[in-house]
Structure 1
């Protein structure tokens, strides 16, 4: 892994700012007893800050891997950092005011703030797309590393895209009519109003579907798939089978496919208005199929390579 000093500086600085924001929000959770939309008012900036720390650091590292278009990548990363900072400034500002940040149409000022947030999300997504394209073109020697990074950033784009579905008026809001004068337009939940019973820590609905589930799962492929490969590399000195680059590549491909399937599964579940923790028979069958395919893929991936190929590979191909 490149030295951290070579990582994209604006994204690293933004991540540091979000770490501070997470601490401040954590203190807010302890000392501020206000509740908004059924949740502690500082819970949203806390979750966003923690998520942005992981997201920004992952992108900051990935940008060091570019072999072409580095200047374009630097500007794309800077745009992502600035757009994310603007979004967080609005979220925290609304918390200080005691107002909703997301879906708030109560006043022209609140509506303009949410519209600005929507613009920052589009800019963030577009900046990440540029980085994804550059990573697709980068010459990364280790094929397993290349697949882990590229799959992670593509799935992160898909996960971020679920955020756009939340901005649409819910079925209940459309049925009520008068969207121009409604205080709230859009929702996290599907089939139930926001602010109802929810899971601890995540805040995801326990009575209806929740689009934050596929949003979260998809976006964090950016960190989890590269971390999966790093775990394989760390285990390679102890497990001879993992010293083979082809085995690591196959395992990364299986993990990427399984992760994509899980993202699609939780999205399907949420869009049907079904809580994550209360799956129906169809969801359980689909889950079993994903698990079976993953197990079969893992078994096949762990088969040894031919002796001729193994003799030509060296430990230099391990990710450093």
Structure 2
């Protein structure tokens, strides 16, 4: 573990340290769920910040690992500070609104809330667009060895799927909700709170964005050949698209799979 941390820090110290701060933030918010009782949409007000802190921690450490493979260090530096600034803005708003017992996403109930929601949209657009640019740099990069080919294609396609399904968030933003067929806040799965009765656009959003970790891991540990990685990425894309279509049809995809 110490070797991994040292290597991660050497690859991208900025994203390593910011990711660590987000991990600590997630732990703090987890503690706050124990000592607070106020709820937002039927769950403790600090559950959402906890999930976002943990998600950003994982994203930062993943991108810290990947960007260490790029030779364009100045562009990686710019990207790293964009991640830090945009995600700091995002988490200040999410945590601040939670502490006030308010929604952060889809909240246009007052001019101030609407502005904060709009700022979050701008921040995530900048971050996702720059992540797409980093992916472009990986498409330009040639594998250093034959064994690296599958892993490199995993990074390329995992990041591409991340960008595609991150932008799916705009579908939720235009609807001002993530539930299809009912209002947000109904019965949901533990912790993640995905609807068990209606369609939930967060399912495809979640699985699509975590292609960022899943596809490269397949390319690194399962096969070193590009073709299987590409086939898995295509299958993964179709599966997540199925989740999206089912959600738009008002069907609780994961609940159906479990049952």
TM-score (norm 2): 0.91
Q: Find 1:63's aligned residue among 52, 62, 67.
A: 67
Paired position in structure 2 for 1:32: 36
Paired position in structure 1 for 2:27: 23
Following TM superposition, by how much is the alpha carbon of 1:155 offset from its aligned partner in structure 2, in angstroms? 0.6
Paired position in structure 2 for 1:127: 130
Contact persistence 1:191–1:273 (CA under 8 A): yes
C-alpha separation between the residues in 2 aligned to 1:254 and 1:75? 33
Contact persistence 1:8–1:63 (CA under 8 A): yes
Find the structure with the greater CA-based Rg: 1
Q: Which runs of 5+ in 2 are unaligned?
A: none
Q: Which runs of 5+ in 1 are unaligned?
A: 170-185, 233-241, 281-320
The question of 1:46 aligning with 2:56 is answered no
Secondary structure at the aligned position of 2:88 is classed as: helix
Following TM superposition, by how much is the alpha carbon of 1:278 offset from its aligned partner in structure 2, in angstroms? 4.7
Please list the CA deviations of residues 234-267 of structure 1 after superposition, one character each: whole Å capped at 9, or x if unmatched: xxxxxxxx6xx44xx3432232122111111111
Q: Moved runs in structure 1, 4+ residues, more than 3 A?
A: 277-280
Paired position in structure 2 for 1:14: 18
Following TM superposition, by how much is the alpha carbon of 1:279 offset from its aligned partner in structure 2, in angstroms? 4.3
Following TM superposition, by how much is the alpha carbon of 1:50 offset from its aligned partner in structure 2, in angstroms? 1.1
Contact persistence 1:65–1:140 (CA under 8 A): no
Q: CA RMSD in A?
A: 1.8
Please list the CA deviations of residues 193-220 of structure 1 after superposition, one character each: whole Å capped at 9, or x if unmatched: 0001111121101111111111100111
C-alpha separation between the residues in 1 aligned to 2:59 and 2:133? 15
Paired position in structure 1 for 2:244: 267
Secondary structure at the aligned position of 1:167 is classed as: helix
Paired position in structure 1 for 2:139: 136
Contact persistence 1:63–1:74 (CA under 8 A): no
Following TM superposition, by how much is the alpha carbon of 1:109 offset from its aligned partner in structure 2, in angstroms? 1.3
Secondary structure at the aligned position of 1:65 is classed as: coil
Following TM superposition, by how much is the alpha carbon of 1:222 offset from its aligned partner in structure 2, in angstroms? 0.7
The question of 1:252 aligning with 2:258 is answered no
Following TM superposition, by how much is the alpha carbon of 1:115 offset from its aligned partner in structure 2, in angstroms? 1.1
Secondary structure at the aligned position of 2:167 is classed as: helix
C-alpha separation between the residues in 1 aligned to 2:137 and 2:247? 32
Contact persistence 2:107–2:114 (CA under 8 A): yes
Following TM superposition, by how much is the alpha carbon of 1:229 offset from its aligned partner in structure 2, in angstroms? 3.0
TM-score (norm 1): 0.74
